């Protein structure tokens, strides 16, 4: 058999369902071998789209998403999505074709040293130099990508190796690395600290979702009566409707939830990655007693000096600590929840136009069921979604907050619909981020993944305007013109709607969700609320 055929067998052995990618000259043998495989190839319109699809598929399923490109420019186009997956801890295996090993030592058409190019944005980057090592490289890439903390692995596959004959052999058996239970002594120590805490609070990060420890988190909070704030990427780890939920933390300004951290003496960080929300933001004086509950040791940071920690299975740790801790009767943080819930609903009935961000988020929540999935792009809209979207279940509000790359929402929605065909999917995006990967609407229509794209239209790089106004009081080079998004959608064969008055938003969302095709909703947004929020936050008084 050819090495390319063995390679595809190895992917089947890893239970790969989809490969997202763009075919090229240097991956001809893989593309041909895929014709005889049950793996579904999703042909995308840009390699960045393919990488974002693999990224979101990996994040939603815990199984590595797979993307594929050709060498040189195809591979460099993968980079943003690969870096995003790696920093957001999404398991991904990225594969690129490569020129023959007989021309790699010299200046040669489209050849780049891809293994080194991908090294800083992956956990493992390797070239298949011999047909014989296909099985080991593929197994290693999947194992490393899927092991805590997950991330991206890169495989460079030269064309002459792909077409070379290889002795028929079996792929290596799939074994997942086992996460051990944390040591008893550390559990005892954590329980001791929490028992004597005056005002503990929990910061839940994406590790809780990755390790399927959400139920354990909720029981832990309930048994010990400790309120929980989630990071952007942990939205839904604790249902927002739960009386112990304080919603989401992560804005760089002091929001209501920040008061919980100002007041707390002990912060219990569970599955928390500081790439999302720097400790400087919530522990400026470095005086919090920090308990670190995660699979791996904490990153070094001046403001994250750990009092104790448990390494290993998060669910086991939470159950063990809850069992040994003396619960408090009432948290002093309780009144904070009331203020947070009130703030969420403050503009629920606002009918002004353009639509206020708070109202868009509110109406979107009303239009969707708890298990439906929204994927936010990156911009001011992401801040509002993170702050105000009430997620009830894990992995129902996907936000990129490690690398935070614009352009993820539309391709991400394709992957979400493929991973969960039974749920509704909405891509929430700015007008700028939308046009970065809007070509994947064609992919979505061709492969049959209906979803709604909700564009917050401000004809600006809104988040950057917000930062500029805050820092310098005047905007610099942030305005642009948009195409007619309705006609643009229609030109793809998708459906387009424009929201002309705020009352129309909910009915339009409902109609679009029922359309069973790709739909675009052009929704004008009133971003004067951004600076109003900044001013409101600067005057905020603690309700506790
Ligand atoms: C690929 C990429 N380029 C640039 C940025 C920096 N950036 C973050 S948000 C933003 C503006 C986003 O504009 P838009 O998509 O219209 O969303 P809005 O802020 O208006 O809601 C920019 C330029 C980024 N995060 N990712
Ligand atoms: Mg915008």
Nearest CA to ligand 1 atom 8: 379
- Looking at residue 455, its pLDDT comes to 99
Nearest to 100 by CA among 78, 71, 74, 126: 71
Cα gap 261→514, rounded to integer Å: 42
Which residue, by CA, sits nearest to atom 14 of ligand 1?
430
Residue whose CB lies within 8 A of the most ligand 1 atoms, among 82, 357, 410, 432, for a mutation test: 432
Q: pLDDT category, 274, cuts 50, 70, 90?
A: very high
Please name the residue whose Cα sits nearest to atom 25 of ligand 1. 405
- Rounded to the nearest whole angstrom, what is the distance from the C-alpha of residue 369 to the centroid of ligand 1? 28
Chain-centre distance for alpha carbon 223: 30
- Ligand number with the minimum distance to the CA of 406: 1
pLDDT one-digit tens code per residue, 377-390: 999 999 999 999 99
Residue 84: pLDDT band with limits 50, 70, 90: very high
pLDDT at res. 168: 87
- Give the CA distances from residue 48 to residues 22, 39, 75, in Å, rounded to whole numbers and listed in that order: 10, 20, 9
The ligand 1 atom nearest the CA atom of 404:
25
Quick one: pLDDT at residue 312?
Answer: 96
- Could you tell me the end-to-end alpha-carbon distance of the chain, in angstroms, rounded to an integer? 69
Whether 461 is in the pocket of ligand 1, judged by its Cβ within 6 Å, is yes
pLDDT for 440 equals 99
Does ligand 1 come within 6 angstroms of the Cβ of 378?
yes
Cβ(432) to ligand 1 under 6 A? yes
Q: d(Cα 99, Cα 159) in Å, to the nearest integer?
A: 6
Give the pLDDT band (50/70/90) at residue 331: confident
* Residue environment code for 119-156, b if the CB has 16+ CB neighbours within 10 A, otherwise e: eebbbbbbbbeebebbbebbbbbbbbbbbbbbbbbbbb
3-class DSSP assignment, residue 536: helix
Q: What is the overall mean pLDDT for the chain?
A: 97
CA of 401 to the centre of ligand 1 (A): 13
pLDDT band for position 232 (50/70/90)?
Answer: very high
| Among protein residues, the one whose CA lies closest to atom 17 of ligand 1 | 430
What's the pLDDT at 176?
A: 85
Tell me if 141 CB under 6 Å of ligand 1.
no
- Can you give the pLDDT at residue 309? 97
Q: What is the pLDDT of residue 177?
A: 80
CA distance 434 to 418: 20
pLDDT in tens, 399-442: 999 999 999 999 999 999 999 999 999 999 999 999 999 999 99
For residue 525 and ligand 1, the question of a CB distance below 6 A is answered with no
Q: What is the pLDDT of residue 241?
A: 98
How many angstroms does the Cα of residue 404 sit away from the middle of ligand 2? Answer: 15
Average pLDDT score over residue span 76-85? 98
The reported pTM is 0.98
Quote the pLDDT of residue 179: 87
381 lines ligand 1 (CB under 6 A): yes
Ligand nearest the Cα atom of residue 52: 1
C-alpha 262 to ligand 2 mean position (Å): 33
What mean pLDDT is predicted for residues 115-119?
A: 98
Residue 414 sits at φ, ψ, to 5 deg, of -60, -50
Ligand 1 close to Cβ of residue 154 (< 6 A): no
Indicate which residue's Cα is closest to atom 11 of ligand 1: 461
- The rounded distance, in Å, linking the Cα atoms of 492 and 475 is 34
- How many Å lie between the centroid of ligand 1 and the Cα of residue 85? 18
Q: Is the CB of 431 under 6 A from ligand 1?
A: yes
DSSP state of 283: -
Atom of ligand 1 nearest to the CA of 433: 15
Residue 235 Cα to ligand 1 middle (Å): 21
CA atoms in the 13 A half-sphere facing the CB of 333? 31
* Residue 409 CB less than 6 A away from ligand 1: no
For the beta carbon of residue 172, count every other beta carbon within 10 angstroms. 16
Q: Tell me the CA–centroid distance for residue 234 and ligand 1, in Å.
A: 21
Q: Which residue shows structure tokens 């629920």?
A: 348
What pLDDT was estimated at residue 478?
A: 98
Q: What pLDDT does residue 318 have? A: 98
Q: Please report which ligand is nearest the Cα atom of 383.
A: 1
Q: Please tell me the predicted confidence (pLDDT) of residue 69.
A: 98
- Integer Cα distance of 460 and 478 in angstroms: 5
CB of 380 sitting under 6 A from ligand 1? yes
Which letter, b or e, does each residue of 83-111 get, where b requires 16 or more Cβ atoms within 10 Å of its Cβ?
bbbbbbbbbbbbbbbbbebeebeeeeebb
Q: Is the CB of 58 under 6 A from ligand 1?
A: no
Q: What is the whole-number distance in angstroms between the Cα of residue 424 and the centre of ligand 1?
A: 25
Closest CA relative to residue 428, chosen from 373, 502, 374: 374
Measured in angstroms, how far is the CA atom of residue 259 from the centroid of ligand 2?
30
3-state secondary structure of 78: helix
């Amino acid at each position: 058999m050819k090495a390319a055929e063995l390679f595809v067998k190895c992917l089947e052995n890893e239970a790969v369902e989809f490969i997202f990618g763009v075919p090229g000259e240097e991956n001809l043998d893989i593309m041909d071998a895929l014709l005889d495989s049950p793996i579904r190839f999703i042909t995308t319109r840009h390699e960045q789209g393919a990488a974002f699809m693999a990224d979101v598929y990996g994040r939603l399923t815990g199984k590595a998403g797979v993307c594929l490109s050709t060498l040189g420019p195809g591979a460099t186009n993968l980079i943003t999505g690969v870096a995003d997956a790696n920093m957001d801890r999404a398991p991904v295996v990225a594969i690129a074709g490569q020129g023959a090993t007989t021309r790699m030592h010299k200046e040669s058409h489209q050849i780049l040293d891809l293994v080194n190019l991908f090294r800083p944005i992956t956990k493992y980057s390797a070239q298949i130099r011999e047909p014989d090592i296909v099985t080991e490289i593929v197994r290693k890439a999947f194992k490393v990508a899927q092991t805590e903390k997950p991330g991206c692995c890169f495989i460079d596959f030269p064309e002459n190796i792909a077409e070379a004959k290889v002795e028929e052999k079996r792929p290596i058996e799939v074994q997942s690395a086992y996460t051990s239970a944390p040591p008893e002594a550390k559990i005892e120590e954590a329980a001791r600290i929490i028992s004597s805490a005056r005002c503990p609070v929990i910061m839940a990060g994406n590790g809780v979702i990755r390790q399927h420890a959400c139920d354990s988190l909720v029981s832990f909070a309930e048994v010990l009566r400790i309120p929980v704030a989630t990071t952007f990427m942990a939205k839904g780890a604790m249902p927002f409707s739960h009386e112990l939920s304080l919603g989401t933390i992560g804005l760089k300004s002091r929001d209501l939830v920040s008061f919980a951290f100002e007041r707390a003496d002990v912060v219990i960080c569970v599955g928390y990655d500081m790439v999302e929300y720097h400790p400087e933001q919530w522990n400026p004086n470095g005086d919090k007693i920090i308990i670190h509950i995660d699979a791996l040791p904490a990153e070094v940071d001046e403001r994250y000096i750990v009092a104790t920690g448990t390494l290993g299975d998060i669910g086991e740790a939470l159950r063990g600590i809850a069992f040994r801790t003396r619960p408090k009767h009432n948290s002093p943080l309780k009144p904070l929840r009331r203020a947070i819930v009130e703030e969420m609903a403050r503009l629920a009935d606002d009918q002004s136009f353009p639509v206020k961000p708070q109202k868009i988020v509110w109406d979107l929540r009303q239009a969707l069921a708890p298990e439906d999935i929204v994927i936010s792009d990156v911009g001011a809209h992401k801040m509002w979604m993170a702050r105000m979207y009430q997620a009830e279940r894990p992995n129902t509000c996907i936000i990129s907050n490690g690398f935070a790359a614009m352009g993820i929402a539309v391709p991400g929605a394709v992957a979400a619909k493929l991973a969960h065909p039974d749920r509704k999917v909405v891509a929430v995006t700015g007008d700028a981020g939308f046009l970065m990967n809007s070509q994947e609407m064609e992919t979505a229509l061709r492969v049959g993944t209906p979803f709604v794209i909700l564009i917050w239209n401000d004809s600006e790089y809104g988040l950057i305007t917000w930062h500029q106004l805050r820092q310098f009081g005047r905007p610099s080079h942030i305005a642009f013109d948009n195409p007619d998004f309705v006609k643009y959608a229609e030109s793809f064969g998708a459906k387009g709607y424009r929201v002309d008055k705020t009352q129309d938003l909910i009915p339009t969302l409902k109609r679009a969700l029922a359309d069973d095709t790709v739909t675009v909703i052009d929704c004008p947004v009133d971003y004067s609320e951004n600076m109003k929020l900044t001013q409101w936050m600067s005057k905020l008084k603690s309700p506790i």
